[in-house]
Chains A and B, each alone.
Chain A
Amino acid sequence: MLRVAGLTKIYINRYDAQAGGVRDVSFDLPPGTFFTLLGPSGCGKTTTLRCVAGLERPDAGFIAVEDRELFDSARGVAVPMNQRGIGMVFQSYAIWPHMTVFENIAFPLRVAKERRYPREEIRKLVDEALATVGLAGYGDRPATRLSGGQQQRVALARAIVHRPQLLLLDEPLSNLDASLREEMRAELRRLQQQIGVTTIYVTHDQSEALAMSDLIAVMDHGRIVQLGEPRAIYFRPASEFVAAFIGAANLLNGTCVSAVTAGGVGPLRLGDGAEISCLFPSGGEIGRATTASIRPENIVIAPLGAGTPTAANTLRGLISASSFLGGTVRYDVRVGEYALRVTGPAETILPPGTGVQLGFPPQAVVAVG
């Protein structure tokens, strides 16, 4: 449905250095996909979104929706932003304060150039949009009298009122407080599935991305470093960066000691000589320096001498700090030269200084590069 290929836009700051922008971003989206661009600030996710919207002009690349080309640098095609027929929700919501809610939402219908919408139809569509976002009856309210959450819904209603083929959302939840955010997250996802519109969602919050998306593109320094479904991203991070960015990760540096086939399990020698079994999604060569990632929640922690270890991988260490987080306890454990973070149950809190043994299955340890 949406095809983006080779999208490049480079910003030069005033020291003539390249700062920010995107390089060679490509993805194809089937219709109805909820697609998230995820990454830290400056990674290029917003730039990519704005290029698709037409707010920025890429230096090179190709963008097409269905069979309609929006941008093609090779042929000099660049459809202006107001002719792309896309719906967009801005980070600040951009609700026009001098209009009512109805007028805000009706705006795209009023300025539409491809066809004229008669008054009754406008009213019908706007009322439908209001109902969809759960603001039925709010039409006459002045825009200045809306809460943050309500503004966001109005922005969404405005973006979908003209039944666009593509919906763009630029960090729409970042201005809401925590509890509202969770609620809106589910709400947005439900709405998107109900309407069935292809959506691109930009966020820096990885839990949001994991919860809402069909497809995630993790971006770093202007490039997509991994593109895949949430589970794949989480359990099989393609690089240290992805591993560390999505969820918490412990990174262990070691060396691969024997050849491993792609997707297979093999030994990894750690710096202090200990060996653990590790999953190699793309295989391993002898002698190659490898980093492995273990999620804190996948490590079982028990005091030394609490029984024989049953896990395939066992490491011994000393607790250097423990924090009670309510539902869990977070431990910082020193294992040789490594500092590992481990999540344990909250019923027993092991104090700092306790000797512990850590156990984890090979599938929980993923080689990331």
Chain B
Amino acid sequence: MSASGITGRLAPARTSWLEALRGDQRLIVAVLVGIVLAVLMLPPLWILLQDSVTTTDAIGNVTGWTFAHFRRLVTDRDALRSIWNTLVFAAGSTVLSLVTGGILAWLVERTNAPFKVLAYLATIISMGTPYILHVIAWLFLLGKVGPLNDAWRHLTGSTDNLFNVNSMAGMILIEGLLWSPLVFLLLGATFRAANADMEEAARMSGATVFDTLRRISMPLAMPSILALALFVFIRAIGGFEVPALVGMPGRIYVLTTDVYEATIVVPPDLGYAASFSVVMVAIVAGLLYFYGRLSKNAERYHSVTGKGYRPRPFDLGRGRWIAGGLIALNFCVVLLLPLLTLLWMSLLPFLRSFSLAALPMLTLRNYRTVLYAGDYIRLALNSLTVAAGAATAVMLITAVAGWIAARRGPGGRTLDQLATLSLVFPGICLGVAVMEVYLRVPLPIYGTLWIIAIAYVIRYMPYGMRYVYSGVLQLHRELEEAAGVAGASSMTTLRRIVAPLLTPALVAGWLFIFLIANKELAIAVLLAGPSSQVIAVAIFDAWVNGQGGELAAFGLIWTALMTVIACLFFAQMRRGSADVYGN
């Protein structure tokens, strides 16, 4: 019972690599997962860099090195204009979506306004709707023969349009409305997590609702709001549907449409497209860095009052009904009007404005074509399969990678960085990069659904990572330590303890990726072959080919299907406590 004096054994511990490898199963697994991630995420980046500084011949073989592509970027008047347009477009739509989504979020989460269910309904349904459907509906509503301009003409008798939708204003309006539901969700989560004490102290000191809002609530929420604003800005920079369908007819070009155009001419100007892409990737990477810093700050303002303590809603008094009106207005604008428009389009043989004269022409022919003739059933199956496959692959990989990263296991930080690498790619750039990679790799997947699935996996890996990461953090470390001390190896612990407890996060992540994979056009537009079409591309093609009625009919059926799945997703979210993006 005395301190032992075994002096010979007090040298500091040596750790040999081999020993670490043998002893730590996690390291082996981390290396394997790391290789998978590296093979997926690194080649697109490499290819873009290579393409931007090389010249190629007609068949695509590299013929030399050059800076000409970048030089063109800086000297071409059009390129500089595109950069400016991109910034204006992204900034404008960010502000608009923040205002609309933010007001809605505050009304729903912190006040006693009525009709709150409408806000959720609008969000859920928009979760299942491909962006391109929204854009097409808005193009009609605000277009030359849409109800807005029609009404103006009737009221004032002029032959002009009140509003030209193919303008920067039109682009900002439609893109802003597109992001509004997401802003609503994320800001709603922020407001819900806010500390009620601060606001109640203000009210007790005599402040009115507006005063409290202005002096207390807003400043406290500001870091979260700024982080969110930056996030939306980054996504808007990579926006493709609106610039392609709304901007191009008005000859307004942004970076994404420039990349697209350069890629689809014959022969494709891939060097130019790559140089554009590299510039965009650099911009987005820089912005993401600031986003990371802002997010860390934002977390400090979340209260830790524990579950079950919800802030008391503000009583708006008679203002309730104005608030309710705003919520209903948002519902109409964001959801009801576009859906009705699509319904109108789907029932017409050719497109014309709302008018009683058109009523006798209504027909179900488009629905019949969609359901019986045509390839639409196969198309739907393609999309569902690809999305399900990609979601599964992502969650499998990130379950392991996210666990290692969240527990600060060996190589955890590298795995985290690899998995979130694809955030720097705007969708269209990733499409170009993936296409280029797999045109050169001797795998026969170009033009099949596989290449689209791989592009989805690359693109949505960061989201899976976020869900798993925050899910693991919510598990008490000691649950895994107990298993370890009880004799379980790392992989046994992962399999028997972590995975079952992580299931809610895994399911939520799976559903999220499944839903969102089908919304984006940019990622698949360059990769979908004629025999491997997915929804967003098919709608785009149908629009370009003048099959407007059919695409509206199909779009509505598809949206209904996806809404069911979106309901599942939101039900799952409610069970867990993480919000949409796994925060």
25 pairs, CB–CB < 8 Å, chain A vs chain B: A5-B6, A55-B481, A57-B13, A60-B10, A60-B12, A62-B6, A62-B10, A73-B11, A74-B9, A74-B10, A76-B16, A78-B23, A80-B24, A82-B486, A82-B489, A88-B485, A88-B486, A91-B478, A94-B479, A97-B501, A111-B483, A113-B489, A158-B486, A215-B1, A228-B1
A113 to B491, CA, bound (A): 14
B575 interface contact, C-beta 8 A? no
Beyond A76-B14, A92-B476, A92-B478, whether A82 also contacts B484 by CB under 8 A is yes
| Contact flags B5-29 to A (C-beta < 8 A → 1, else 0) | 1111111111110010001100000
Given known A81-B485, A82-B487, A111-B486, contact A224–B3 (CB-CB < 8 A): yes
Contact flags B467-491 to A (C-beta < 8 A → 1, else 0): 0000000001011011111111100
> Complex formed: what's the CA distance from A328 to B496 in Å?
54
Contact flags (1/0) for A102-129 with B, using CB distance below 8 Å?
0000011001110000000000000000
Does B492 sit within 8 A of A, measured CB to CB?
yes
Cβ–Cβ < 8 Å partners of A75 in chain B: 9
CA distance A8 to B500 in the complex (A): 37
A172 to chain B, nearest CB (A): 12
Contact B487 A74 (CB under 8 A): no
A55 touches B1 (CB 8 A): no
Contacts of B63 in A (CB 8 A): none
Known contacts A27-B3, A28-B4, A90-B481; A108/B13 CB under 8 A: no
The proximity string for A residues 12-34 relative to B, scoring 1 for CB distances below 8 Å and 0 otherwise, is 00000000000000111000000
Q: Of the candidates A3, A4, A78, which one forms a contact with B13 in the assembled complex, judged by CB atoms under 8 Å apart?
A: A78
Q: Does B2 sit within 8 A of A, measured CB to CB? A: yes
Closest chain B residue, CB of each to CB of A50: B481
Q: Are B478 and A90 in contact (CB under 8 A)?
A: yes
B 102-119 binary contact with A (CB < 8 Å = 1; else 0):
000000000000000000
Q: Report chain B residues within 8 Å CB of A98.
A: 500-501
Residues of B within 8 A of A (CB): 1-16, 19, 23-24, 476, 478-479, 481-489, 492, 496-497, 500-501
On whether A27 and B13 interact (CB within 8 A), knowing A91-B478, A98-B500, A108-B486, the answer reads no
> B13 near A94 (CB under 8 angstroms)?
no
Partner of A111, one of B4, B10, B487: B487
Is A53 engaged at the interface, CB distance under 8 Å to the other chain? Answer: yes
**Closest Cβ–Cβ distance, residue A106 to chain B (whole Å):** 10
* Complex CA–CA separation, A61 to B489 (angstroms): 24
Please judge, given known A-B contacts A26-B3, A92-B476, whether A73 and B10 are in contact too, CB under 8 Å. yes
Residues of B within 8 A of A301 (CB): none
Across the interface, which residues of B come within 8 angstroms of A74, CB to CB?
A: 8-11
CA distance A155 to B478 in the complex (A): 12
- Let me know if A284 is at the binding interface, CB within 8 A: no
* Contact in complex: A55, B487 (CB < 8 Å): no
| B5 CB to nearest A CB, Å | 8
Minimum CB–CB distance from A84 to chain B (whole Å) comes to 8
Residues from chain A with a CB closer than 8 A to the CB of B481 are 55, 81, 90, 94
Bound Cα distance from A123 to B582, whole angstroms: 41
Q: Is the CB of A112 within 8 A of B10?
A: no
A317 at the interface (CB under 8 A from B): no
Q: What's the Cα separation between A82 and B19 when bound, in Å? A: 15
Q: Which residues of A have CB within 8 Å of B483?
A: 96, 107, 111
Q: Are A27 and B9 in contact (CB under 8 A)?
A: no
Which residues of B sit under 8 angstroms from A73, Cβ to Cβ? 9-14
Q: Does A361 contact B (CB under 8 A)?
A: no
- A75–B12 Cα gap in the complex (Å)? 10
**In the complex, the 7 A-B pairs of residues with the closest C-beta atoms, listed nearest first:** A94-B482, A73-B13, A26-B3, A108-B486, A5-B4, A94-B478, A6-B10
Q: Does A44 reach chain B (CB closer than 8 Å)?
A: no
A59 near B: Cβ within 8 Å? yes
Q: How far is the CA of A62 from the CA of B479 in the complex (A)?
A: 27
**Complex contact B1–A227 (CB within 8 A):** yes
Nearest B residue to A105 via CB reads: B486
A252 CA / B13 CA spacing, docked (Å): 44
- Contact at A59–B482, with CB atoms within 8 Å? no
Is the pair B488, A111 in contact by a Cβ cutoff of 8 Å? yes
Residues of B within 8 A of A107 (CB): 483, 486, 488, 496
- Tell me the A49-74 residues at the B interface (CB within 8 Å): 53-55, 57-62, 72-74
Q: Are B485 and A27 in contact (CB under 8 A)?
A: no
Chain B's nearest CB lies how many Å from the CB of A200? 13
User: In the complex, which residues of chain B have a beta carbon less than 8 angstroms from the beta carbon of A54?
Assistant: 484-485
B485 touches A76 (CB 8 A): no
- Compute how far the CA of A75 lies from the CA of B9 in the bound complex, rounded to whole angstroms: 8
Is B10 a contact partner of A61 (Cβ separation < 8 A)?
Answer: yes
Chain A residues near B3: list those with CB within 8 A. 5, 26-27, 224, 227
Is there a chain B Cβ closer than 8 Å to A86's Cβ? Answer: yes
Find the A residue at minimum CB distance from B476. A92
Compute how far the CA of A62 lies from the CA of B12 in the bound complex, rounded to whole angstroms: 10
Q: Which residues of A contact B9 (CB under 8 A)?
A: 5-6, 61-62, 72-75
Bound complex: CA of A72 vs CA of B10, how far in Å?
8
Q: Which residue of A lies closest to B6 (CB)?
A: A5
Decide if A86 touches B485 in the complex (CB within 8 Å). yes
Minimum C-beta distance from A78 to chain B (A) = 7
A residues in contact with B497, CB < 8 Å: 96
- Whether the pair A3, B486 counts as a contact (CB closer than 8 A) is no
A227 / chain B contacts, CB cutoff of 8 Å? 1-3
Q: State the CA gap A242–B205 with chains docked (Å).
A: 50
Q: B4, B10, B476: which contacts A94 (Cβ < 8 A)? A: B476
In the assembled complex, the CB of A13 is this many whole angstroms from the nearest CB of chain B, namely 16
> How far is it, in angstroms, between the C-alpha of A228 and the C-alpha of B3 when the chains are bound?
11
Which residue of B is nearest A55, CB measured?
B481
Given contacts A6-B6, A81-B485, A96-B497, contact A60 B479 (CB under 8 A): no
User: Whole-angstrom distance between the alpha carbons of A256 and B562 in the complex?
Assistant: 87
Closest chain A residue to B13, Cβ basis: A73
**B residues near A85, Cβ cutoff 8 Å:** 487
- Residues of A contacting B4 in the complex (Cβ-Cβ under 8 angstroms): 3-6, 26-28, 62
Q: Which residue of B lies closest to A53 (CB)?
A: B485
Residues of A within 8 A of B488 (CB): 82, 107, 111
Distance in Å from the Cβ of A72 to the closest Cβ of chain B? 6
- CB 8 Å contact bits of A184-217 with B (1 = contact, 0 = none): 0000000000000000000000000000000100
Output the nearest chain B residue to A229 by Cβ-Cβ distance. Answer: B1
> With the chains together, A4 CA to B15 CA distance in Å?
20
* A99–chain B nearest beta-carbon distance, Å: 8
Closest B residue to A6 using CB positions = B10
Q: Which residues of B contact A86 (CB under 8 A)?
A: 485
Bound CA span A107–B486, Å:
7
A58 touches B476 (CB 8 A): no
Residues of chain B within 8 A of A81, CB atoms compared: 481, 484-485
With A6-B10, A61-B9, A227-B2 already in contact, 17 other A-B pairs whose C-beta atoms are closer than 8 Å: A6-B9, A8-B10, A28-B2, A53-B485, A54-B484, A55-B481, A62-B9, A74-B11, A76-B15, A78-B15, A78-B19, A81-B484, A82-B488, A88-B482, A88-B486, A107-B496, A111-B487
CB-defined interface of A269-307 with B at 8 Å, one 1/0 digit per residue? 000000000000000000000000000000000000000
Interface centre among A72, A94, A215 (most CB of B within 10 A): A94
User: Residue-by-residue, is A241-253 near B (CB-CB < 8 Å gives 1, otherwise 0)?
Assistant: 0000000000000
A112 neighbours in B (Cβ, 8 Å)? 487
B412 to chain A, nearest CB (A): 17
Q: Which residues of A contact B6 (CB under 8 A)?
A: 5-6, 62
Of A5, A55, A60, A61, the residue contacting B485 (CB under 8 A) is A55
For residue B311, give the distance in angstroms from its CB to the closest CB of chain A. Answer: 29
Chain A residue contacts of B487, Cβ below 8 A: 82-83, 85, 108, 111-113, 162
> With A and B bound together, what is the CA distance between A84 and B489 in angstroms?
12
In the assembled complex, the Cα of A97 lies from the Cα of B5 at a distance in Å of 45
A27-B1 contact given A72-B9, A108-B486, CB 8 Å threshold: yes
Closest to B488 in A: A111
Bound complex: CA A168 to CA B481 (Å): 13
- Smallest CB–CB gap between B283 and chain A, Å? 32
In Å, the complex CA distance between A224 and B4 comes to 13
